[in-house]
Structure 1
Amino acid sequence: MKKVILFAVVLFGALIKAQDKTDSQFKYLEYDIEKIQNLYRNNKVTVKEVVEAYFKRINDIDKNGIQLNSVITTNPDAIKIADSLDHLDSKFKNKPLFGIPVLLKDNIDTHDKMPNTAGSLALKNSFPLQDSYLVKKLRDAGAVIIGKTNLSEWANFRGEKSTSGWSGLGGLTKNPYILNRNTCGSSAGSGAAISSNLGIIAIGTETNGSIVCPSSFNGIVGLKPTVGLISRQGIIPISSSQDTPGPMARTVKDIAISLGTMAGEDKNDKKTIGNTPFLHKDYTQFLTLTGLKGKRFGYVKGITKGANKKVDDLFLQTLKILEAQGATIVEIEKDWISPEISKNSFELMVSEFKDDLNDYLKSLGKNAAIKNIDELIAFNKNNKEELQYFGQEYLEISAKSNGKKDKNYKKAVTIAQKGSQQGIDSVIKKYNLDAIIAPTTAEAWKTDLKNGDNYENFYSSSSPAAIAGYPSITLPMGYINELPIGISFFAGKWEEGKLINMAYTFEQINPQRKVPQFLKE
């Protein structure tokens, strides 16, 4: 993640299609969960055949061809697992994710032949001792974990002037719409892979923007849930206050199906304790066309502060679409979130990262490659390929802190979390809103490994919900110069169902998803 997510306004030259005939040869292009499972039910195809097809797709365009570089490792046992699913009794084939190829961001523990690395060479051979709680639930739901996706190293909490979508272990992931554009991060590979049909769904993680920004840049749907809806046990952390995993998919329906399998109480993650009354086992109940008519949506006028007129114009066009569907659009004040909130959010992350990372590394047992943040810093200093583009300032600041015992930590938590929660709650109450809406980001900037992500003319709307720990969902709103732009819906705590309903209705009346063409600029 980054404290803010940024874009550069650029001039486009000629765009050249880099794609070969791969799409026309891939029989499952843009298939969703329901369509794949209908093939299984009608005995048209086996799980093994589907998984083999996705592996070929990964080999054709991710490892070879245009070399998208979104999948950091594939699961060597996936074909065997798929074959075992094919031989189960029919009663087991009704599970919500039965036979669905799923990709995981490479900061989520699996107890198999895949390491969990955070994109770091320091964890190249780090094999967790057990599945994360989330992965157990996905496997129980019938999913086939086919691989893990590249990410901004250490979820973009390593150093200044970093490049989103780059890691020392995985290299650089390309944006499938225009290959020299950025994927955003830190769930970069998850966004690019799902947009490029390398899986049906992916699981990303977010501290601030790391699900919604790459979903926007890569033209897909991404849901950042309420912190505590889904367990974080077995996920390499940044901040116990803000971290959450969440689903990324090409349709809102697939988000709803997958979310129901992931949500649940876990005794090893105290944030989830007591969440049962607020979650739903089946979020598909919210897939009705009732999410816009009669609803009140708040927005901030001139949302990008003049930095990007094209985004402002696209958003204003979208507001008219919402109004035509019977929604009421309400202009809200610009200062409902204090500038002090972001500053204190960074301070709490610095403190929490040290303690939370050290706790995670302890969970790897006595044979862990590195055992604490100090050893990580030393490893990076001794391995030049890690620091070839940018430093590790955030790691060093965190290591020097007193962790959660830092004198400013509790104050930072109060100002950041409580302030953001109160800001969202108060503006929703004041204007009697059903949700707040905003462009998710502007269009993707040009990737620049030497200088890092371009901070000029930045815009991102992720921070309020991320810092509050509240849910948000993004889906495609339109395109600027062939690059996708997302729209985000924000609401109060535990209101994922409401957001899914709104996003689904918007998606059905204004479908904007386009298959990427792998253009060269």
Structure 2
Amino acid sequence: MKISASVLRVTAGVAAVLTAFPAKSQTVSDYLERIAAVDDSGPMLNAVLAINPDAAKEEAAARKISGPLAGKPVLIKDNIEMAGPLATTAGSLALKDNVTGRDAPLVTRLRKAGVVILGKTNLSEWANIRSSSSSSGWSAVGGQTRNPHAIDRTPCGSSSGSGSAIAAGLAWAAIGTETDGFITCPASVNGIVGFKPTVGMVSRTHVVPISHSQDTAGPMTRSVADAALLMNALAGGDAADAATAEADKYKTDFTAGLTTASLKGVRLGVMRKAAGSHPALLALFDKALLDLKAAGAELVEIDFTAPPEMGRDEFTVLLYELREDLGAYLRSLPGPGLPRSLGDLIAFNKATPAELRWFGQDIFEQAETATDRATYEKARANSLRLAGPEGIDRLLQENRVAFLVAPTEGPAWPIDLVLGDHFVGVGAGNLAAIAGYPHLTVPMGAVEGLPIGLSFMGPKWKDAAVLAAGAAYERARTTAIPASGLKRWGE
């Protein structure tokens, strides 16, 4: 594992030139060569945390499996367990020895489909829930992940390594996880596709948790079709995860009809207020809307501003569930000498200078005192109501639209380990995150070479329909998309 916590000292002239990664490079050895060239050396993206030493053997075994995913090398975020010698660290030195010897059910599903687990990706430590002044993409285990489009800029978080790796051509696809923006933001700023499924469509068992109300895993890929293909493997019920009780009822062939999906006559709700005020971003969004209209969509302007209490109550929920859910996960770990509670983690961090070198753990400390269940239950009911029934559901019904569209996030901001992230407040994805509804981001262009995604959000369990809408836009898009792979350093 690469361990680095040095401040990035990158000048504008060091930014790498982007080019398409050769389509022929699909094997484990090809991707390992690529990782060595641009992740471990050269620009040193720090996207891949650890390589699966059995990847080549898995690739050989996958040749005996038929199906479109057989032999595809995929990276998984390092808060997802996999059997073998690799630890599941969530980026924390407290879990550097957390070798559980078990596959998360979602990994079991991928393996059954013939997917080759290439390795683990870096992430924002503890999925960006430790500190209010953190730098996305930094972990004590993996150091700072960089955005391959501009290596002095953020890859966003918390699925930072997954987003950066696919943009740089380090694997065929990756799996990220989301609580609120953790798949969609890194997908957007790295110029790739990211899909957050309906909460409960994909098992969360043996995935380091934040919130059982909002957590989910999902695909991060180069195309909507690839994301749908991965969803065919990922989706399904798990007896150990109550949220998935209805998953098999709603699971479908997510690739069916994708190549012919049309936006003709589809009414789309345009969330203009979620686009911010940056002139270049607004112009890009307007161009995407023109593409949607040219594809036959009917655009309906929606005047909506999320009530402040929705975000306030979401934070109350995350604090309470973090303490409860993470504590339960830690107590379930089979290895000796591991932390067993959030309190144990707080104590470990205080005793480990490398953990608190750049920012603290104020959110952890708030969560440790969030013990009032009545307050939590009231906050969950209210935030869910505002995001779901009175949020997405009401907006869809009252405006007679099928989906909501908005920019996913603004341009990637400069990495700042001293002052932390500088989110620009663009996007409306927190509605889908809190409600647990599907949210897809598809690249729509760039501002000064920095990618921007277009979000599609829809009703609960309508994952296939959201993917189809995104695929139709992907075909209709006329804006140039930044190349999604680094040249080898020095070429």
Between stretches 230-239 and 498-507, larger displacement belongs to 498-507
CA offset digits 1:407-455 (Å, max 9, x no partner): 3011011011122101110110001101000000110000111000124
Judge conservation of contact 2:446–2:482 (CA < 8 Å) in 1.
Answer: no
Separation of aligned partners in 2, 1:75 and 1:69: 16
Instruction: Note the 1:155-174 alignment, pairs <5 A.
Output: 155-174=127-146
Matched residue of 1:323: which SS?
helix
Judge conservation of contact 1:354–1:373 (CA < 8 Å) in 2.
Answer: yes
Separation of aligned partners in 1, 2:148 and 2:336: 38
Aligned residue for 1:4? none
Distance 1:304 1:500, change over 3 A: closer
Deviation at 1:265, TM superposition (A): 0.5
Aligned residue for 1:105? 77
Matched, 1:334 2:301: no
Instruction: Note the 1:2-21 alignment, pairs <5 A.
Output: 18-19=16-17
Separation of aligned partners in 2, 1:478 and 1:181: 17
Between stretches 199-208 and 504-513, larger displacement belongs to 504-513
- So what's the TM-score if we normalise by structure 2? 0.93
Deviation at 1:517, TM superposition (A): 6.1
Matched, 1:311 2:281: yes
Q: Which amino acid aligns with 2:452?
A: I
Deviation at 1:305, TM superposition (A): 4.0
Distance 1:319 1:27, change over 3 A: closer
Separation of aligned partners in 1, 2:32 and 2:413: 30
Matched residue of 1:72: which SS?
strand
Aligned residue for 2:3? none
Separation of aligned partners in 1, 2:236 and 2:178: 18
Aligned residue for 2:347? 378
Separation of aligned partners in 2, 1:221 and 1:305: 21
Q: Which amino acid aligns with 1:292?
A: L
CA RMSD of aligned residues (A): 1.9
Matched residue of 1:408: which SS?
helix
The one of 285, 290, 308 aligned to 1:320: 290
Judge conservation of contact 1:129–1:364 (CA < 8 Å) in 2.
Answer: no
Separation of aligned partners in 2, 1:356 and 1:17: 40
Between stretches 365-374 and 125-134, larger displacement belongs to 365-374
Matched residue of 1:466: which SS?
helix
Deviation at 1:85, TM superposition (A): 3.0
Judge conservation of contact 1:18–1:517 (CA < 8 Å) in 2.
Answer: no
Matched, 1:471 2:438: yes
Q: Which amino acid aligns with 1:492?
A: P
Matched residue of 1:103: which SS?
strand
Matched, 1:388 2:386: no
Instruction: Note the 1:216-235 alignment, pairs <5 A.
Output: 216-235=188-207
Q: Which amino acid aligns with 2:185?
A: C
Judge conservation of contact 1:296–1:329 (CA < 8 Å) in 2.
Answer: yes
Matched, 1:350 2:319: yes
Instruction: Note the 1:94-243 alignment, pairs <5 A.
Output: 94-243=66-215
Separation of aligned partners in 2, 1:274 and 1:179: 42
Deviation at 1:368, TM superposition (A): 4.8
Matched residue of 1:204: which SS?
strand
Between stretches 466-475 and 405-414, larger displacement belongs to 405-414
Q: Which amino acid aligns with 2:369?
A: K
The one of 284, 287, 304 aligned to 2:255: 284
Unaligned runs of 5+ in 1: 1-12, 37-49
Judge conservation of contact 1:470–1:492 (CA < 8 Å) in 2.
Answer: yes
Instruction: Note the 1:314-463 alignment, pairs <5 A.
Output: 314-335=284-305, 337-365=306-334, 367-402=336-371, 406-422=373-389, 423-455=391-423, 457-463=424-430
CA offset digits 1:234-280 (Å, max 9, x no partner): 10000000000000000111011100100000000000012222111
Judge conservation of contact 2:276–2:425 (CA < 8 Å) in 1.
Answer: no
Judge conservation of contact 1:74–1:146 (CA < 8 Å) in 2.
Answer: yes
Q: Which amino acid aligns with 2:293?
A: E
Separation of aligned partners in 2, 1:14 and 1:69: 19
Distance 1:386 1:16, change over 3 A: closer
The one of 66, 76, 80 aligned to 2:53: 76
Matched residue of 2:135: which SS?
coil
Between stretches 97-106 and 122-131, larger displacement belongs to 122-131
Distance 1:17 1:275, change over 3 A: closer
Judge conservation of contact 2:138–2:145 (CA < 8 Å) in 1.
Answer: yes
Instruction: Note the 1:52-71 alignment, pairs <5 A.
Output: 52-71=29-48
Separation of aligned partners in 2, 1:293 and 1:208: 31
Judge conservation of contact 2:169–2:486 (CA < 8 Å) in 1.
Answer: no
Separation of aligned partners in 2, 1:305 and 1:488: 14
Separation of aligned partners in 2, 1:17 and 1:447: 13
Matched residue of 2:304: which SS?
coil
Separation of aligned partners in 2, 1:468 and 1:286: 27
Distance 1:17 1:162, change over 3 A: closer
Matched residue of 1:284: which SS?
coil
Matched residue of 2:260: which SS?
coil
Judge conservation of contact 1:17–1:517 (CA < 8 Å) in 2.
Answer: no
Q: Report the count of equivalent residues.
A: 476
Q: Which amino acid aligns with 1:383?
A: T
Judge conservation of contact 2:437–2:459 (CA < 8 Å) in 1.
Answer: yes
Matched residue of 2:256: which SS?
helix
- So what's the TM-score if we normalise by structure 1? 0.88
Separation of aligned partners in 2, 1:461 and 1:73: 33
Separation of aligned partners in 2, 1:193 and 1:255: 15
Aligned-residue identity in percent: 41
Deviation at 1:459, TM superposition (A): 1.9
Separation of aligned partners in 1, 2:427 and 2:361: 24
Judge conservation of contact 1:116–1:123 (CA < 8 Å) in 2.
Answer: yes
Separation of aligned partners in 2, 1:101 and 1:353: 32
Distance 1:517 1:97, change over 3 A: closer
CA offset digits 1:467-498 (Å, max 9, x no partner): 00000100111111011000000000011111
CA offset digits 1:213-244 (Å, max 9, x no partner): 00000000000000000000010000000000
Judge conservation of contact 2:91–2:122 (CA < 8 Å) in 1.
Answer: yes
Separation of aligned partners in 1, 2:125 and 2:475: 36
Separation of aligned partners in 2, 1:253 and 1:516: 17
The one of 198, 215, 238 aligned to 1:266: 238
Deviation at 1:513, TM superposition (A): 3.7
Instruction: Note the 1:82-97 alignment, pairs <5 A.
Output: 82-86=59-63, 88=64, 92=65, 94-97=66-69
Deviation at 1:319, TM superposition (A): 1.0
Separation of aligned partners in 2, 1:250 and 1:244: 20
Separation of aligned partners in 1, 2:54 and 2:403: 43
